């Protein structure tokens, strides 16, 4: 029995300085949120970040009843701002998500920019949270993998509620992702789940996980921040329960350790297809 996917450990660059930005998103206040992000991305660049991650729906928050006025496309002000900063600072930006309008549909969409300011991938949130936020009433679910090539290897993208679906994260890892970038608006009431699930996904798949959450509160709930960077052994490199303040969370990732970690506990080699084969229909 053979593995479904040949997992590749190598990355073009071994070292990555990543910045996770968390702040109190103001629902419906696009200009305010854009100004905040501009300031914090600039600070990230000053700290030497090569890659920046933003939280979910960073530009409009959960003002879902006003999507007709607030949603943008990839040429809108929020995408233009991220492209400009990626190009100006020579960094990769995993732009959280924006409320994207395409035709008569709305999507919760992650935009990824390279260091030249080009959009190199777009991932539309697959699992829409039904309770409280009622995402499924406003957004259309995506239907494609969040996989994007970077100078540090293949990265997977998932969004907030996606974290609870182990099959999705495992599929991204089996397809070669060495890192999962996970923007979120994860509430304080389930903050312990957020912390534990980020660690679990990193450990079980032997990957890095960059979970970027928001702070503050609004009509949709209270949010703890607690953005976290976890290595393939489950060690927290930055953030976690104490990281509650708005600002920039900085972490240094070392991809040269990944091969030895996977050799010490060879779950990819020992994985039996008959036991845990996963196909797209199970997502």
Catalytic residues: 56, 125, 160
Q: Tokens at residue 180, please?
A: 């999962």
For residue 245, which phi and psi values (nearest 5 degrees)?
A: -90, 150
**CA dist 51 → 32, 62, 219 (Å):** 23, 25, 31
DSSP category for residue 72 = B
Q: Tokens at residue 94, please?
A: 């995993």
Quick check: 95 and 111 in contact, CB under 8 A?
yes
CA separation for the pair 157, 148 (Å, rounded): 8
Q: Tokens at residue 140, please?
A: 């259309």
Q: What is the DSSP string of 200-237?
A: HHHHHHT-EEEEE--EEEETTEEEE---EEE-TTS-EE
Q: Check the CA dihedral 145-102-94-141 and report its sign.
A: negative
Q: Tokens at residue 155, please?
A: 């990265």
Looking up tokens 């732009």 gives 95
Alpha helices in 90-175 (DSSP H): 135-138, 166-174
The residues near 237 (Cβ < 8 Å, ≥ 6 apart) are 229, 230, 231, 251, 252, 253
CA separation for the pair 10, 113 (Å, rounded): 22
């Amino acid at each position: 029995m053979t593995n479904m996917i040949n997992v590749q450990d190598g990355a073009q660059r071994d070292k990555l300085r990543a910045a996770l930005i968390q702040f109190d998103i103001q629902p419906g206040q696009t200009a305010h949120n854009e100004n905040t992000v501009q300031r914090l991305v600039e600070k990230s660049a000053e700290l030497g970040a090569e890659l920046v991650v933003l939280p979910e729906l960073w530009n409009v928050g959960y003002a879902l009843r006003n999507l007709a006025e607030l949603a943008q496309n990839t040429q809108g002000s929020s995408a233009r701002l991220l492209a400009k900063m990626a190009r100006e600072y020579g960094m990769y930006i995993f732009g959280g998500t924006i409320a994207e309008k395409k035709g008569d549909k709305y999507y919760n969409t992650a935009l990824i920019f390279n260091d030249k300011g080009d959009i190199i991938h777009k991932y539309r949130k697959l699992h829409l949270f039904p309770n409280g936020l009622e995402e499924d009433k406003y957004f259309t679910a995506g239907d494609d993998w969040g996989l994007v090539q970077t100078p540090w290897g293949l990265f997977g993208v998932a969004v907030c509620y996606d974290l609870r679906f182990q099959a999705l994260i495992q599929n991204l890892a089996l397809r070669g992702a060495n890192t999962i970038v996970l923007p979120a608006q994860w509430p304080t009431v389930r903050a312990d789940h957020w912390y534990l699930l980020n660690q679990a996904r990193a450990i079980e798949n032997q990957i890095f996980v960059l979970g970027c959450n928001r702070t503050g509160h609004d009509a949709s709930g209270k949010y703890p921040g607690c953005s976290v960077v976890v290595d393939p052994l489950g060690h927290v490199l930055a953030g976690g329960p104490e990281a509650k303040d708005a600002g920039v969370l900085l972490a240094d990732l070392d991809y040269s350790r990944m091969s030895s970690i996977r050799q010490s506990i060879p779950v990819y080699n020992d994985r039996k297809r008959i036991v845990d084969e996963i196909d797209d229909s199970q997502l």
